[in-house]
Amino acid sequence: MLTGIDYDLNALLNALLEILDLRFNQLKEGNPEQLDADYIDNLYRFMEPGSFLYQGKQVSAKMTGVNHFGQLILELPEGGMLECGLSDLKFL
């Protein structure tokens, strides 16, 4: 309604189901590496220096990856690292 465009909901549903099927098959076939790579390729501001709010403090860091628990890995300018959940972090 916000865009004023009428979308074909059946076409959108089919597109979503195709993508979910593709991702499910990647996992089922033991190919999580491609899933991980695609996730990293689509991370917002990946490898770009930026400012974040973490535990009430503003920090400058660069998002460099995701650990095995799904937490973001942030590299601090002074060489340290932070690993935190997306809910623990606010983009500034």
pLDDT tens string 18-51: 999 999 998 899 878 888 888 899 999 999 999 9
Tens of pLDDT, residue by residue over 54-81, are 999 999 999 999 998 989 999 999 999 9
Domain at 45-92, CATH class:
mainly beta
Nearest residue to 74 (alpha-carbon basis) of 87, 64, 66:
64
Q: How far is residue 14's CA from residue 42's CA, in Å, rounded to a whole number?
A: 22
Ordered by start, the domain boundaries in the chain are 7-42, 45-92
Alpha helices in the chain (DSSP H): 9-28, 32-41
